[in-house]
Amino acid sequence: MDPIAFLESRRSASPKALGLPVPSGAELERILTIASRTPDHGRLAPWRFVVLAGPGLASLAGAVGEAFRADHPEADDAAVRAARQRYDDAPMIVAVVSRARPQHPDRPGIPEWEQILTCGAVCMNLLHACHAHGYGAVWLSGWPAYHPAVLSHLGLAAHERLAGFVHVGTEPGKQEDRPRPRLDELVTMRDR
């Protein structure tokens, strides 16, 4: 596919539609290398990846279920199953972790905002890299992305935040695109 058509055709997958196969080890290495090829003021690499597949995903789903049960002691088993379903059903998740710091020990002069923007760009690059390899992907958060017990299960340090769970897998077929923003509402031209 030509690169412009490629960029024009990327859209997020429905997480429910994603299945096997997932990227091989070699493909994943390439995908994460491409994702990491991102503008980064100060070369701080203010992100990292936690790749969840197989038992690692089952264990994440368990942690989400436990967090939900702790917060909703009245919940029955069906409600707990529903809360963890997204993780039980996912074929592979790349959790993207922001390591942005307000006063980064290596470069205190680099604004935290710019480090956060870099991590967001990594997520977007990751979506494109998955698409380029023929896989579907979608960037999701939801309450588990902010829950201390889930973040602790994923091994996040106190200063780290989850930029999102990027679900990756194979889509059964083409999905409808969504309406896209109107450019005339977003662009101000000042060229004269």
Ligand X SMILES: Cc1cc2nc3c(=O)[nH]c(=O)nc-3n(C[C@H](O)[C@H](O)[C@H](O)COP(=O)(O)O)c2cc1C
Q: Give the nearer residue to ligand X in terms of CB position, either 77 or 176.
A: 176
Q: Does 85 bind ligand X (CB under 6 A)?
A: no
CA distance 85 to 61: 7
Q: Does 43 bind ligand X (CB under 6 A)?
A: no
CB of 175 to ligand X, least distance (A): 9
CB of 169 to ligand X, least distance (A): 15
Q: Quick one: CA torsion of 62, 65, 71, 73, rounded to 10 degrees?
A: -110
Cβ neighbours of residue 132 closer than 8 Å, sequence gap 6 or more: 6, 34
Q: Does 9 bind ligand X (CB under 6 A)?
A: no
CB of 106 to ligand X, least distance (A): 26
CA distance 3 to 13: 20
Q: Does 178 bind ligand X (CB under 6 A)?
A: yes
Residues 23/129, Cβ–Cβ less than 8 Å: no
Q: Does 164 bind ligand X (CB under 6 A)?
A: yes
* Positions in the binding site for ligand X (CB under 6 A): 11-12, 138-142, 164, 178
